[in-house]
Structure 1
Amino acid sequence: MTGWTADRIPDQHGRVAVVTGANSGLGLVTATELARHGAHVVLAVRNTAAGEQAARRIDGDTEVRELDLASLESVRAFAAKLAVDHPALDLLVNNAGVVLLGPRRRTSADGFELQFATNMLGHFALTGLLLDNLAAAREPRVVNLSSITHKTADLDFDDLMFERGYRAATAYGRSKLATTIFGLELDRRLRSAGLPIASVLAHPGLTRTNLTPRAWEHRGRLGLVVARLGLLATQPVERGALPQLYAATAAGVQGGQFFGPAGLAETRGRVTEARLSPKAADPAIGRRLWAAARRLTGVEYL
């Protein structure tokens, strides 16, 4: 994968892709490149006006659909309609994410901590509700967007919704650890079930979006330095999107693989296989989180 760029994306004609959070940042670049290479891309966005504006900037075959990952009702409605309109789904890129600032704990429409709800639980439910459509496609993939902040995060299964001692930046790290655990546990369960769906993970390092610098503000002195450096420490969004585009399209990618930048502690540079934290890779933690996500979302699969 040395020197891999978006120009090396294989032909995507005849493939249907859903990209959550596709109206800006990493999601917009991902949707743009997939469409440029021939895919029919569904921009799954909370703000459809912003989605339509983004779609007009994309040279290719797109459609915009409303999806609020912080509302299980919205997730179910989106999945139900998409499942009818696109019986075979080739690619699901669980890209959307939210980072909160300040001391106030915010909750989703279903009463969950907002970052955990949006970044992990909404995507867990969406993936399960679209599983049959993915299984009907040829060589389908699910890509979950992780973060290097997952490496030092921890989950408190006695307080998954962070009701005690809430800190927004810490909650973000926890949500990204949960997303990473989900992607790996999904891979294990797909293999066990014999389903031909690859669950792959990627992270963008430190990329010039409105999310990454804020996610580092709680990482102690080093994190504060990184956050303040801002543009100097980050790479362009077009480069930051390469790991997830590689995970989504490159030939030979296997379920359970994790891609990120190769340089400077995985913060920037060419695409390579990234390192997982021990907690993210622990199957026992994966099973426990899966059971909790089933219970919280009411979506049961695999």
Structure 2
Amino acid sequence: MTASSYFFYCIPMLLDLESLESVRRFAKEVLRDFPNINVLINNAGVSVPVCQHRKTKDGYEINFGVNHLGHFLLTNLLLPRLKDSTSSRIVIVSSMLHERGTIDFDNLNGEKGFAGAGRRMNPAYCNSKLANMLFNIELSKRIEGTGVDSFALCPGFVYKNLFRYSNVKWYHYILFLPVALFFMRTPSQGAQTTLYCATSEELEGKSGLFFRNCNFYGPKMEFDPAVAKKLWEVSENMVGLNNDKSETM
């Protein structure tokens, strides 16, 4: 019996999901330098309180812009290479908080404010996580039969800097930190479901599913396929993908 050795290395590259220009530049570099893309993991995210009224560099509400639009554009730009590299996978990191989200096409950018903005949970973040779920649903339909699978997942409550923009008071740490630490996962623990979706052979061909704790999870809310389709079309306009299509015709 001979032993085999495997070597893995990381190549750092600059990507700012707050800027659609940066997403396009990153995708161009990836397509130039990498002949195959076997897995795309859309993992980055922010949770910025809506009271800060922050926008992306392209003028979109920052939670929706970074968590959904940035990943939406990146996925579409890399999708042809993913199809050429089959079998391949797209993994979308969402959250159970999608169940608290809403998609209001007249208020995607927060022009009318957000219902529940005074509560502890960030409504714009919840909306962006619901957008992730709808993205996965529509994406799985559009890539059916291509050899590419798409999955969405919840990593759990992970100890990381996602809430670095929140206005947390010192006494909140005293009251809630001991309880939070008991339930929170380490980054390594939180990554397990992502890795499962990216690598498990038993998931091949089961595109469109949602996972939690390395198991299939049936969401409590029903997803309207018409809303998922419309969100895709609206997102195409927002990130300029329709302009790309017209230029290549």
Task: Give yes or no for TM over 0.5.
Answer: yes
Cα distance, 1:162 vs structure 2: 1.0
- Alignment match, 1:243: 193
- Is the CA contact (8 Å cut-off) linking 1:169 and 1:214 kept in structure 2? no
- Alignment match, 1:175: 128
Cα 1:37/1:294, change in 2 over 3 Å: farther
1:42-53 matches, cutoff 5 A: none
Cα distance, 1:161 vs structure 2: 0.8
Give the percent of matched residue pairs that are identical in Structure 1 and Structure 2.
34
- Is the CA contact (8 Å cut-off) linking 2:132 and 2:152 kept in structure 1? no
Matched, 1:147 2:95: yes
Matched, 1:273 2:216: yes
Cα distance, 1:282 vs structure 2: 2.1
Paired amino acid for 2:38: D
Q: Deviations over 1:5-33 (max 9, x none)?
A: xxxxxxxx9xxxxxxxxxxxxxxxxxxxx
- Alignment match, 2:172: none
- Is the CA contact (8 Å cut-off) linking 2:27 and 2:77 kept in structure 1? yes
1:1-302 matches, cutoff 5 A: 60-101=8-49, 103-166=51-114, 167=117, 169-191=122-144, 194-211=145-162, 229-253=179-203, 254-261=206-213, 271-279=214-222, 281-300=223-242
- Is the CA contact (8 Å cut-off) linking 1:213 and 1:226 kept in structure 2? no
Paired amino acid for 2:132: T
RMSD between superposed Cα atoms in Å: 2.7
Paired amino acid for 2:196: Y
Alpha-carbon distance between aligned partners in 1 of 2:89 and 2:198, rounded to the nearest angstrom = 7
Paired amino acid for 2:122: A
- Alignment match, 1:4: none
Cα distance, 1:213 vs structure 2: 10
| Larger strand proportion of the pair | 1
Q: Deviations over 1:137-194 (max 9, x none)?
A: 1310000001010012111111001122243811000011101110111001111xx3
Cα 1:102/1:292, change in 2 over 3 Å: closer
Paired amino acid for 1:288: K
Cα distance, 1:214 vs structure 2: 8.6
Paired amino acid for 2:41: V
> Which runs of 5 or more structure 1 residues have no equivalent in the other structure?
1-12, 14-35, 39-59, 218-224, 262-270
Cα 1:37/1:177, change in 2 over 3 Å: farther
- Is the CA contact (8 Å cut-off) linking 1:206 and 1:213 kept in structure 2? no
Cα distance, 1:287 vs structure 2: 0.5
Paired amino acid for 1:246: Y
> Which runs of 5 or more structure 2 residues have no equivalent in the other structure?
169-174
Normalised TM-score (structure 1):
0.69
* Large movers: runs of 4+ above 4 Å: 212-215, 225-228
Cα 1:237/1:37, change in 2 over 3 Å: farther
Cα distance, 1:205 vs structure 2: 1.5
Greater RCO (Cα-Cα under 8 Å, separation 6 or more): 2
Cα distance, 1:132 vs structure 2: 1.1
Paired amino acid for 2:154: H
Alpha-carbon distance between aligned partners in 1 of 2:48 and 2:186, rounded to the nearest angstrom = 22
Cα 1:226/1:141, change in 2 over 3 Å: farther
Cα 1:61/1:213, change in 2 over 3 Å: closer
Cα distance, 1:277 vs structure 2: 4.3
Paired amino acid for 1:100: V
- Alignment match, 2:171: none
Paired residue total? 227
Cα distance, 1:62 vs structure 2: 1.1
Normalised TM-score (structure 2):
0.83
